């Protein structure tokens, strides 16, 4: 994604071809990612390589196999639900590359609602950008911070114990925002919360669907 985002299109295409070769050789049926940005780009390989006669078809086949992990767990398999009770509040931030880029909105919430006792409190403007945007938070720090302030005001109003989001870049930005706002809320991926709930019942195991 960094190469494509910063205009290094030929390098992005080179990496896309490599990934297509690797996964095609492995014969996988589904490609699951827990990163909104990675999922957004890999689902778009067919657009990136549409003018490449050697890869256009295989890129389309590759893109059709990509699933965000929330999408995969909530739609593609029968998820085990032996979770322990978590009596706390969570609010969910929609990453731009997941909600707008992949139209994955209800799936993460569906997973969070599976956890007994966990109350999902919707923040105002859940899909308002956090200002992270990969390295944008470093290259445009002041503007990024202004965008973050609006997001954090909406989060603070929920009084949530957890802030869940499916994008590593958003997690970094929201952790910074939580620290600056003096919030004790933990920033986690929805799957981390599923794992915590699972380990309440199975303390010596890691959650596996």
Please state at what angle helix 9-26 crosses helix 56-65, rounded to 10 degrees: 70
119-120 and 66-68 strand pairing: unpaired
Mean pLDDT rounded to a whole number for the chain: 91
* Cα separation, 75 vs 105, whole angstroms: 13
* Cα separation, 88 vs 80, whole angstroms: 21
Q: Are 112 and 79 in contact (CB under 8 A)?
A: no
Q: Are 98 and 40 in contact (CB under 8 A)?
A: yes
Residue-level pLDDT at 93: 98
* pLDDT > 60? residue 80: yes
pLDDT (tens digit, 9 = 90+) per residue, 88-138?
A: 999 999 999 999 999 999 999 999 999 999 999 999 999 999 988 767 666
Residue-level pLDDT at 2: 58
| CATH number of the 89-201 domain | 3.40.50
* pLDDT > 80? residue 1: no
pLDDT (tens digit, 9 = 90+) per residue, 144-169?
A: 888 999 999 999 999 999 999 999 99
pLDDT (tens digit, 9 = 90+) per residue, 180-200?
A: 999 999 999 999 999 999 888
* Cα separation, 27 vs 187, whole angstroms: 35
* Cα separation, 66 vs 7, whole angstroms: 23
Name the residue ranges covered by the structural domains of the chain.
2-73, 89-201
């Amino acid at each position: 994604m960094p190469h494509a985002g910063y205009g290094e299109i030929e390098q992005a295409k080179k990496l896309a071809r490599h990934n297509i070769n690797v996964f095609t050789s492995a014969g996988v049926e589904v490609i699951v990612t827990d990163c909104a940005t990675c999922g957004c780009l890999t689902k778009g390989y067919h657009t990136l390589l549409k003018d490449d006669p050697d890869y256009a078809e295989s890129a389309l086949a590759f893109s059709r196999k990509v699933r965000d992990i929330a999408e995969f767990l909530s739609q593609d398999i029968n998820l085990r639900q032996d979770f322990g009770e978590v009596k706390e509040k969570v609010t969910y931030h929609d990453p731009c590359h997941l909600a707008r880029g992949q139209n994955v909105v209800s799936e993460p919430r569906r997973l969070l609602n599976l956890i007994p006792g966990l109350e999902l409190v919707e923040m105002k403007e859940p899909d308002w950008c956090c200002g992270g945007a990969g390295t944008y938070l470093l290259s445009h720090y002041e503007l990024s911070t202004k965008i973050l302030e609006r997001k954090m005001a909406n989060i603070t109003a929920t009084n949530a114990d957890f802030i869940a989001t499916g994008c590593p870049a958003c997690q970094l930005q929201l952790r910074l925002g939580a620290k600056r706002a003096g919030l004790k809320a933990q920033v986690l991926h929805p799957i981390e919360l599923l794992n915590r709930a699972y380990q309440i019942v199975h303390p010596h195991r890691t959650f596996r669907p």
